[in-house]
A and B are shown apart, each in its own frame.
Chain A
Amino acid sequence: MEEKQLGLDLKEIIEASLDARDERISLQEFHSRVVNAGLRRDVIEEISRTKREPEWMLKLRLKGLELFEKLPTPNWLPDVLAGLDISSMNLYVKPNTGTARNWDEVPNEIRNYYDELGIIKSEQDYLAGLVAQFESEPIYENVKKELEKKGVIMLSMESAVQKYPDLVKEYYMRIFPPSDHKFAALHAALSSGGVFVYVPKNVRLVTPIEGFFVIGTPQEAQFEHTLIVADENSSIHFIEGCSAPRLSKDSFHDGMVELYAKRNARIKFTTIQNWSKNVINFNNKRAWADENATIEWVEGSLGAKVSLVYPSTILRGEGATSTSLVVTMAGSPGDWKDSGSKMIHSAPNTKSKVVNKNIGFNGGVNVYRGLIRVNKGATAARAYVKCDSLMLDDITKAYTFPHNEVMEEDADVAHEAHTLRMNEEQLFYLKVRGIDEKEATSMLVLGFIDDIMRELPFEYATMLNQVIKLELEKLGAVA
């Protein structure tokens, strides 16, 4: 297969979207700007052809393109995006390697890169499976034998579409349809890479499974798609770790995660997002929970310059439960961390719990937009939201926009919000115990997110710990 490079001017696409949002341009103008930026029907067809996709996938992409042009720009799209130097996207850059089954087959420079991130080691030590993504193409797939024996399918999205087209089709973008919003539509059109996991009935995986995504080249943006289906009575903990090397230009990321937990199934989905500071991370995360199913989101949104992440669960079956624990950190001027979990109660006796903690310093901005909706018929629903902000200096901002839509009278919906500053007396106490200011500060910051740290496997808690400490080194560097 020959290499293809199709340039797409994402900066222009975003700016046109912002102009459309504020009605500075007509729909007609928007269309022509997008086309000039390289987002055209023939380009989408070319992507689909190169990937040798089935007809339904191409149709979905084209539908995505159509909707992207038609749908209004969401008003929550932050203005800060306009000022960024977003790099163009080179669509479908084929790396110089096929899909490898073990590390010896992976070219050295790519291996070294993963080595630096410590992925190979942690996989050996601990993780049951790994699908890593370098540029747009999976280079490494390894599903441990026990998983295969149990009938668990874990494949790159590309391979899954080839091998299990019907299974993928049944769920792909059904939980998060392209019609949802403009950038979900864009994702549908450009989606590339990601992981597909299917856990058969009654299979309960105890060891977490990891997919480690990397934005490889500066010219690369990612539209990866992760889809996990847990069949009845099954369970899985999937860890999505994200890290990116230093990139010279801002890079746009519009990924998607769909989780489907069937009756009595449980999916825990953990993300540690530590992308470099010039990534714009736009993530669409949504889950369906059937009868008595459980969805647990754990999210550490630490890196990236602008990040918009709203893990959402639709509790569609009676007795379904969902929790969402989110930590965001904005620690540089211009950092914008937008987050907020959405819980939609659509069946009786459903329960949800949201804990959102944000840490701000050096002028970073954290925004919380949560939604609790109790639909008509979802009787005896219970929802609890806790939203805490810790601000380490006076130039930092935090905004909270909780939203409740409750259609059933017997619903129990509780909301708590706290804004905290660094407690000087606590800091002094720690210093009088011989602990220096930096260490004491990071102890207090880590203490602030302790209830979320406790949900992480040890290796990840340690990693989160280190990332936060490293970031706090910069505390007070801008004043």
Chain B
Amino acid sequence: MSELKIENLTVEVEGKVILRNVNLSVKQGEIHALMGPNGSGKTSLSLAIMGHQKYKIREGRILLDGEDITNLEPNEKVKRGLFLAFQNPVEIDSIKLSTLLVAEYNAFYGERTTPLEVLNYVKSSVKNVGLTESILNRGVFQGFSGGEKKRIEMAQMLLLKPKISILDEPDSGVDVDGLKIIADAINKLKVENNTGYIIITHYRRILDYVNPDLVHVLNKGTVVASGGKELARLIDEKGYEAVIKN
């Protein structure tokens, strides 16, 4: 059984400490929600886990299945089964979406599948998130709406079937139907692939669909509370102050 373990992580960006002694542990098949006010460090944590150069790990380590992956290249982490859906994925106008999806499929699975099969997987991954194939001919995220971006991030998760998946606000800017599609994708991989999740969110709504095992609250770079679903309800009703004060 796979497990992502974040041990005592302290992270600095531009000379400023933004995460302090964070501990978090997610097993396959589990769903953890990560909440916290704007600027509390949620996105920074996800980027630091994936190995973004700007987010310098000053202390602590990241383990996947017991292996220290702290200093591995991002693509190596992905190959070991880690995935990140970005809060704000960067536009890459010069690369066609289909080119990206084919390249990542081949990078992940090795080039043992025929190009035609790969293309079919790529096409169905896009259809599975309620988008039409024609979007594949556009530049990566070029002029995509907020919701389209989120859906394409989920399509890539479906393509790569990670062991542990970090989703940074998969529900922001997404319409009702989209939210359902995204929640379905999460549940589908959980059932079929036993994927474990860290879902970063500000809203209880998605949690009603996916049923988290645990909810954590990050404030000013530290985990200040962990608990069950009721923590999300409390935040929803009374705001972050209610949990942060404790």
A and B pair up: yes
Q: Tell which of A145-153, A398-406, A429-437 binds the partner.
A: A429-437
**How far is it, in angstroms, between the C-alpha of A443 and the C-alpha of B89 when the chains are bound?**
17
Chain A residue nearest to B107 (CB atoms) is A434
Residues in A neighbouring B156, C-beta threshold 8 A:
433
The smallest beta-carbon distance between B84 and chain A, in angstroms, is 6
The smallest beta-carbon distance between B159 and chain A, in angstroms, is 9
Q: Is B92 an interface residue (CB 8 A)?
A: yes
Q: Is B103 an interface residue (CB 8 A)?
A: yes
Residues in B neighbouring A431, C-beta threshold 8 A:
51, 73-75, 78
Residues in B neighbouring A2, C-beta threshold 8 A:
none
B60-101 interface bits toward A, Cβ cutoff 8 Å, 1 = contact, 0 = none: 000000000000011100110000101001101111000110
Partner of A429, one of B89, B108, B160: B89
7 A-B pairs (CB sep. < 8 Å): A425-B90, A431-B74, A432-B78, A433-B103, A436-B107, A444-B95, A447-B95
Q: Is B104 an interface residue (CB 8 A)?
A: yes
Partner of A432, one of B50, B92, B103: B50
Partner of A443, one of B75, B90, B95, B160: B95
Partner of B99, one of A423, A432, A443: A443
The residue among B50, B52, B90, B160 with the most chain A CB atoms within 10 A of its own CB is: B90
For chain A, what secondary structure do more than half of its interface residues adopt (helix, strand, loop), or is it mixed? helix
Instruction: Tell whether, in the assembled complex, residue A433 and residue B100 are in contact, meaning their CB atoms are under 8 Å apart.
Output: yes
The smallest beta-carbon distance between A429 and chain B, in angstroms, is 5
**How far is it, in angstroms, between the C-alpha of A447 and the C-alpha of B92 when the chains are bound?**
9
Residues in A neighbouring B86, C-beta threshold 8 A:
429, 432
Q: Is A240 an interface residue (CB 8 A)?
A: no
Residues in B neighbouring A437, C-beta threshold 8 A:
73, 75
Instruction: Tell whether, in the assembled complex, residue B90 and residue A439 are in contact, meaning their CB atoms are under 8 Å apart.
Output: no
The residue among B75, B99, B104, B156 with the most chain A CB atoms within 10 A of its own CB is: B75
**How far is it, in angstroms, between the C-alpha of A425 and the C-alpha of B73 when the chains are bound?**
14
Instruction: Tell whether, in the assembled complex, residue A439 and residue B107 are in contact, meaning their CB atoms are under 8 Å apart.
Output: yes
**How far is it, in angstroms, between the C-alpha of A436 and the C-alpha of B79 when the chains are bound?**
10
Q: Is A419 an interface residue (CB 8 A)?
A: no
Chain A residue nearest to B141 (CB atoms) is A429
**How far is it, in angstroms, between the C-alpha of A436 and the C-alpha of B108 when the chains are bound?**
10
A175-219 interface bits toward B, Cβ cutoff 8 Å, 1 = contact, 0 = none: 000000000000000000000000000000000000000000000
Binding site for A on B (CB under 8 A): 50-53, 73-75, 78-79, 84, 86, 89-90, 92-95, 99-100, 103-104, 107-108, 156, 160
Instruction: Tell whether, in the assembled complex, residue A439 and residue B94 are in contact, meaning their CB atoms are under 8 Å apart.
Output: no
The residue among A423, A428, A433, A450 with the most chain B CB atoms within 10 A of its own CB is: A433
The smallest beta-carbon distance between A399 and chain B, in angstroms, is 23
Q: A444-B94, A444-B95, A448-B94 are in contact. Are A435 and B75 (CB under 8 A)?
A: yes
Residues in B neighbouring A443, C-beta threshold 8 A:
95, 99-100, 103
Q: Is A36 an interface residue (CB 8 A)?
A: no
Q: A428-B53, A428-B74, A443-B99 are in contact. Are A433 and B104 (CB under 8 A)?
A: yes
Q: A424-B53, A437-B73 are in contact. Are A432 and B84 (CB under 8 A)?
A: yes
**How far is it, in angstroms, between the C-alpha of A433 and the C-alpha of B109 when the chains are bound?**
12
Chain A residue nearest to B52 (CB atoms) is A428
Q: Is A426 an interface residue (CB 8 A)?
A: yes
**How far is it, in angstroms, between the C-alpha of A429 and the C-alpha of B74 when the chains are bound?**
9
The smallest beta-carbon distance between B177 and chain A, in angstroms, is 26
**How far is it, in angstroms, between the C-alpha of A431 and the C-alpha of B76 when the chains are bound?**
9
Chain A residue nearest to B54 (CB atoms) is A424
**How far is it, in angstroms, between the C-alpha of A450 and the C-alpha of B50 when the chains are bound?**
29
**How far is it, in angstroms, between the C-alpha of A435 and the C-alpha of B89 when the chains are bound?**
16
Chain A residue nearest to B50 (CB atoms) is A432
Chain A residue nearest to B93 (CB atoms) is A447
Chain B residue nearest to A426 (CB atoms) is B92
Q: A428-B53, A429-B86, A443-B103 are in contact. Are A434 and B78 (CB under 8 A)?
A: yes
Instruction: Tell whether, in the assembled complex, residue A433 and residue B94 are in contact, meaning their CB atoms are under 8 Å apart.
Output: no
**How far is it, in angstroms, between the C-alpha of A447 and the C-alpha of B86 when the chains are bound?**
22
Residues in B neighbouring A433, C-beta threshold 8 A:
75, 78, 100, 103-104, 107, 156, 160
Q: A432-B75, A433-B78, A443-B100 are known contacts; what are 9 more A-B pairs with Cβ within 8 Å?
A: A423-B90, A428-B74, A430-B92, A431-B73, A432-B50, A432-B86, A433-B107, A436-B107, A444-B95
The smallest beta-carbon distance between B92 and chain A, in angstroms, is 5
**How far is it, in angstroms, between the C-alpha of A423 and the C-alpha of B92 when the chains are bound?**
9
Instruction: Tell whether, in the assembled complex, residue A432 and residue B74 are in contact, meaning their CB atoms are under 8 Å apart.
Output: yes
Instruction: Tell whether, in the assembled complex, residue B78 and residue A439 are in contact, meaning their CB atoms are under 8 Å apart.
Output: no
Interface residues of A in 445-459 (CB under 8 A from B): 447-448, 450
Interface residues of A in 212-231 (CB under 8 A from B): none
Which 5 pairs of residues, A with B, have the shortest CB-CB distance? Answer: A447-B94, A431-B74, A434-B78, A433-B104, A434-B107
**How far is it, in angstroms, between the C-alpha of A428 and the C-alpha of B77 when the chains are bound?**
13
